[in-house]
């Protein structure tokens, strides 16, 4: 049985000094977390430097027209990635336009409107969806959604005349994509 010392038995009643310095296991964790964070920055910076080093000869040869030219004809010494950049930005914007509202609405539904007995199941379902690699969703979209999306794009092109901005001069509305 433990006993609490009486006040007359306490000899040192000064308040203990509070320090912000980590000690023991906290210090080990802090230093290892800083080391891991620094190594991530160093590795990412190294990848960026390597890519810049490898891109230098191309940029030296073609200049900034490499980013503005949409043709890729290495036989004629004309290369550029403007069409690819526009396509990448278009796909990213469409994905964000779909994913952001869906994710916010799903989070709002789960946290505010879902019955309490379903909340844990819905959270587990979202966690399982997050665990699936994105390439699986990409392949699913390519094989199941793409045929219908292509038909929709052709219909929009035929009846509304929507033409990609980067290829206005070379487009033929009656040509198949």
pLDDT digits (tens, 9 = 90+) for 36-63: 999 999 999 999 999 999 999 988 988 8
Which pLDDT band holds residue 9 (cuts at 50, 70, 90)?
Answer: low
- CA distances from residue 88 to 2, 70, 153, 159 in whole angstroms, order as listed: 70, 13, 17, 25
Contact of 94 with 107, CB cutoff 8 Å:
no
Q: Could you give the CA distance from residue 91 to residue 134 in angstroms, rounded to a whole number?
A: 14
Residues near 58 by Cβ (< 8 Å), separated by ≥ 6? Answer: 66
pLDDT band at 11 (very low <50, low <70, confident <90, very high): low
Determine the Cα angle at 99 with ends 130 and 119, to 5°: 55
Across 18-22, 29-33, 138-142, least confident range:
18-22
Residue 75, CB-side half-sphere exposure with 13 Å CA sphere: 0
The residue-averaged pLDDT of 144-163 equals: 81
Which tokens sit at 96?
């964000």
Closest C-alpha to 158, from 138, 175, 139: 175
C-alpha distance across the termini of the chain, in Å = 85
pLDDT band of residue 113 (cuts 50, 70, 90) is very high
Which of 132-154 are b and which e, b meaning 16 or more Cβ less than 10 Å from the residue's Cβ? eeeeeeeeeeeeeeeeeeeeeee
* pLDDT score at 19: 77
Q: Which of 37-41, 66-70, 80-84, 139-143 has the highest mean pLDDT?
A: 37-41
Residue 164 pLDDT: 53
Structure tokens at 89: 């930005």
- Res 28 pLDDT > 80: yes
Question: Which residues of the chain form beta strands (DSSP E)?
Answer: 72-73, 78-79
Alpha-carbon separation of residue 138 from 12, 119, 149, 158 (angstroms): 68, 28, 14, 27
- Provide the pLDDT for residue 176: 47
Confidence of residue 162 (pLDDT cuts 50, 70, 90): low
> Looking at per-residue confidence, does 83 or 32 come out higher?
32
Q: How confident is the model at residue 8 (pLDDT cuts 50, 70, 90)?
A: low
Report whether pLDDT(166) > 50: no
Residue 32 has pLDDT above 60, yes or no: yes
- The widest CA-to-CA distance across the chain, in whole angstroms, is 99
């Amino acid at each position: 049985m433990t006993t609490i010392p009486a006040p007359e038995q306490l000899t040192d009643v000064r308040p203990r000094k509070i320090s912000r310095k980590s000690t023991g296991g906290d210090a080990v964790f802090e230093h290892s977390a800083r080391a891991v964070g620094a190594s991530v920055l160093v590795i990412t910076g190294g990848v960026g430097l390597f890519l810049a080093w490898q891109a230098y000869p191309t940029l030296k040869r073609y200049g900034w027209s490499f980013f503005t030219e949409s043709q890729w004809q290495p036989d004629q010494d004309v290369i550029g990635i403007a069409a690819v950049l526009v396509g990448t930005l278009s796909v990213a914007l469409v994905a964000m336009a779909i994913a952001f509202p869906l994710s916010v609405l799903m989070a709002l539904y789960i946290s505010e409107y879902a019955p309490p007995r379903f909340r844990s199941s819905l959270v587990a379902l979202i966690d399982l969806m997050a665990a699936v690699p994105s390439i699986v969703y990409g392949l699913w979209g390519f094989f199941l959604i793409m045929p219908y999306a292509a038909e929709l794009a052709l219909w929009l092109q035929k009846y509304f005349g929507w033409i990609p901005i980067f290829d206005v001069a070379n487009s033929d509305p009656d040509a198949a994509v």
